[in-house]
Amino acid sequence: MKQISTFEEYKAEYKRSVEQPEQFWSEVAEDFEWKKKWNTVLDGNFEQVNIKWFDGAELNITENCLDRNLKEKGNQTAIIWEPNDPNEKFRTLTYKELHAEVCRFANALKNLGVNKGDRICIYMPMIPEGAIAMLACARIGAIHSVVFAGFSAASLIDRINDSQCSFVITADAVYRGEKKIELKKIVDEALLQTPSIKNCIVFNHRDSAIEMKPERDLWWKDLVKDASAEHAAGSMNAEDPLFILYTSGSTGKPKGVLHTTAGYMVYVGYTFKNVFNYKEGEVFCCTADIGWVTGHSYLVYGPLLNGATTIMFEGTPAYPDHGRFWDMIDKHRVNIFYTAPTAIRSLQAHGNEIFKNKNLSSLRVLGTVGEPINEEAWHWYNENVGKSNCPIVDTWWQTETGGVLISPIANVTPLKPSFATLPMPGVQPVLMNGDGEEISGNGVEGNLCIKFPWPGMARTVFGDHERFRQTYFSTYKGYYFTGDGCKRDEDGYYRITGRVDDVINVSGHRIGTGEVEDAIDEHNVVVESAVVGFPHDIKGQGIYAFVICDKKVDDDEVLRKEIREHVSKVIGAFARPDKIQIVKGLPKTRSGKIMRRILRKIAEGDTSNLGDTTTLLDPAVVDEIKAGAV
């Protein structure tokens, strides 16, 4: 695949990609394997929200990830699995082995009656079988819906029911650090309320004592025992769905963002190779979980499409100590390391001791994703991990974008700390003002939109195309609205400033304030709540909840604890509020709208200037909340 190698070349490629997008993307697409080539490159537009890429083409993405690599890289490692416990032996799968496992599991799914278009929920720890399950689905055209294994049973229920999954694939249990997570028990609880599920497939990972419900529950190993290691990859149409991934927005329940086959493949394969400047034979390590889009695109699909060696890390950066990432880099001679700012900040506090006796000389490129990276963290990463010798690619993108949209190209784009820098070829970012117009020139700030389709973009929200249109294409007619605020500096470089909607980003996890409010409101003494983000040294943003109770609560501390536990149960532990303030009232306008702007200021601890409060129904509540801020 073509790789951009100089800044001049980037500028030329970028120009060409904007002037002749179809020509540009068809050339990129030529580097993949197709069962049948496309009739048209791009159809549709953002007015009608009916985008299609490579229509008429037929392909199988796993043929591009696996079969294609067998001849020259059959014995090369495809996946290195690094276990939670560093004393346990790591596992490797060569391309040949991974291909065989995927074929076996694809055959097993077929034998169970899984068909093209069926939705399969994957609720797995970070083990190769998670990736094998995804690829096996793709092999037969089933749509995978991976649910992050940190989500609660209630969240799992919502996700399974929304897309009517017929199978769920899980494991008995997993350890993360010293904590044991009983996945099968969580699934058992969920399956009481998911009538569409026919079978639950269980991979025995930890020999944990679990209950297997006869007829319903099946062991992974029994299914693959006699399954053939050959499977002729099914032929998918370019726009056949590949996967659904649920993501939070400012309103309502999480949306099932749907990605399709050909465009996603081309975009993710191309951006992996270019953003990271990936070279043949390199070891790539992305620390994201397969339950998030980063795990999909740059742990599984992107690296495999390029025949790379990809690391799957089961553990956490702090176990058994804060040197774990560096141990892993040393042990597997990692060349490219991709992690989140929150992980960097959490390690930063532990001094230089954590690098003692760790050889990081294999590193060539570093990356970050998930949230804005502050300058301090950027420099720490650069100096301590990259030894001032590795470019840092600050990659801005979203679940909906499929792959990286704005980012430096390693060794090509001149860097600027905390800037995602410039758009990838084919990506046309614009900043919009309050009147819904494009802001021209440099040294400006506005809401970030994309004005032309790119192959990796989501096509719809599963089962609700109107919601897709409404969420992303109605704020600015004819534009894709990202929900992010952004600056463009004098050099035309982009710096993402964070969400401008009611989404908060906690340790790179996207959480809708409405979701947390709904969870809190379920508590029996809670009348109403309002949730906002506040700046948090390590997590980026923390969750601050203002809560009104219906009767005098004896012990606020007990109530806070109950609320936290309840949110954990309803959404997952990562969504637990950091701060809870019990209040008598919320600042509402006469029309009943909560003025979040005021709450955000108070949560930030900046109450000097709360702006105009004259439209409030009862301005006195503001003083009360200010006085009781936690």
- The site string for ligand 7RM over 276-305 (x = CB under 6 A, - otherwise) reads ----------------xxx-----------
Nearest to 64 by CA among 13, 135, 169: 135
Nearer to ligand 7RM, 333 or 600 (CB): 600
- For position 420 contacting ligand 7RM by CB under 6 A, the verdict is yes
Number of residues that bind ligand 7RM (CB under 6 A): 23
SS3 (DSSP) at 309? strand
Q: How far is the CB of 398 from ligand 7RM (least distance, A)?
A: 4
Whole-angstrom Cα distance, residue 52 to residue 262? 10
If one asks whether residue 484 binds ligand 7RM (CB under 6 A), the answer comes out as yes
Q: State phi, psi for 582 to the nearest 5 degrees.
A: -85, 125
- Candidates 81, 276, 278, 397; binder of ligand 7RM (CB under 6 A) is 397
> Which of 157, 201, 152, 161 is closest to 181 using CA atoms?
152
To ligand 7RM, the closest distance from the beta carbon of 338 in angstroms equals 11
Shortest distance (Å) from residue 33 CB to ligand 7RM: 27
- How many angstroms separate the CA atoms of 142 and 148, rounded? 19
**Is residue 335 at the binding interface for ligand 7RM, with CB under 6 A as the rule?**
no
Residue with tokens 């970012």: 429
Residue whose entry in the numeric block shows the structure tokens 């117009």: 437
User: Does the footprint of ligand 7RM cover residue 510 (CB under 6 A)?
Assistant: yes
Residues 6+ apart with CB under 8 A from 30: none
Choose the binding region for ligand 7RM from 26-34, 59-67, 355-363, 392-400 (rule: CB under 6 A). 392-400
* Least Cβ distance, residue 408 to ligand 7RM (angstroms): 10
Based on the shown chain and the rule CB under 6 A, indicate whether residue 58 belongs to the binding site for ligand 7RM: no
Residue number, 320 or 498, with CB nearest to ligand 7RM: 498
Is 496 among the residues that bind ligand 7RM (CB under 6 A)?
Answer: yes
Q: Of 503, 504, 485, 481, nearest to 494 (Cα)?
A: 485
d(CA 332, CA 365): 15
Based on CB atoms, which residue is closest to ligand 7RM, 311 or 369? 369
Sole binder of ligand 7RM in the list 309, 398, 413, 507 (CB under 6 A) = 398
Q: What is the dihedral of CA 443, 406, 512, 508, to 10 degrees?
A: -110
CA distances from 353 to 345, 350, 447 (A): 15, 7, 42
CA-to-CA distance for 616 and 61, rounded, in angstroms?
55
Separation CA 557–CA 563 (nearest Å):
10
Write the CB contacts of 208 (distance below 8 Å, at least 6 apart in sequence).
172, 173, 180, 182, 184
Of 62, 114, 134, 70, give the one whose Cα is nearest residue 96: 70
Least separation in angstroms between CB 21 and ligand 7RM = 23
* Backbone angle region of 376, left / alpha / beta, with phi > 0 → left and psi within -120 to 50 → alpha: alpha
| Rounded Cα gap, residues 617 and 118, in angstroms | 51
Q: Does 539 bind ligand 7RM (CB under 6 A)?
A: no
Of 73-81, 94-102, 266-274, 393-401, the window that binds ligand 7RM (rule: CB under 6 A) is 393-401
147 binds ligand 7RM per the rule CB under 6 A: no
Taking contact as CB under 6 A, which single stretch among the options 123-131, 493-501, 512-520, 620-628 is the one that binds ligand 7RM? 493-501
What gap in Å lies between CA 410 and CA 530, rounded to an integer?
42
Nearer to ligand 7RM, 77 or 310 (CB): 310
In the complex with ligand 7RM, which residue's Cβ is closer, 203 or 396?
396
Q: Which is nearer to ligand 7RM, 372 or 587 (CB)?
A: 372
Which listed residue (315, 453, 483, 577) binds ligand 7RM by CB under 6 A? 483
Q: Which stretch binds ligand 7RM (CB under 6 A): 115-123, 180-188, 388-396, 556-564?
A: 388-396
Site mask, ligand 7RM, residues 358-377, x = CB under 6 A?
-----------xxxx-----
- Select the residue interacting with ligand 7RM from 145, 260, 348, 395 (CB under 6 A): 395
DSSP secondary structure, 385-431, as one string: ISTT-S-EEEEB--GGGSS--B-PPTTTSPP-TT--BSBPTT--EEE
Nearest 5°: the CA angle 301, 307, 313 is 60
Q: Given the DSSP bridges, would you call strands 444-450 and 460-461 parallel, antiparallel or unpaired?
A: unpaired
φ and ψ at residue 464, rounded to 5 degrees: -155, 70
Among 17, 84, 306, 399, binds ligand 7RM (CB under 6 A): 399
Report the C-alpha gap between 605 and 607 in whole angstroms.
6
Q: By CB under 6 A, which span of 213-221, 235-243, 274-282, 479-487 interacts with ligand 7RM?
A: 479-487
Closest separation between CB of residue 45 and ligand 7RM, Å?
A: 23
Report how far residue 615's alpha carbon sits from residue 613's, in angstroms, rounded to the nearest whole number.
Answer: 6
**Using the rule CB under 6 A, which residue among 314, 394, 501, 517 binds ligand 7RM?**
394
CB 506, min distance to ligand 7RM, A? 11
User: Among 107, 152, 348, 505, which residue sits at the site for ligand 7RM (rule: CB under 6 A)?
Assistant: 505
CB of 46 to ligand 7RM, least distance (A): 18
- Closest separation in Å from C-beta 252 to ligand 7RM: 16
> Based on CB atoms, which residue is closest to ligand 7RM, 486 or 622?
486
Q: What are phi and psi of 182, to 5 degrees?
A: -90, 80
Given the DSSP bridges, would you call strands 480-488 and 444-450 parallel, antiparallel or unpaired?
A: antiparallel
Provide φ and ψ at 492, rounded to 5°.
80, 15
Binding residues vs ligand 7RM (CB under 6 A) = 247, 292-294, 369-372, 394-399, 420, 482-484, 496, 498-499, 505, 510
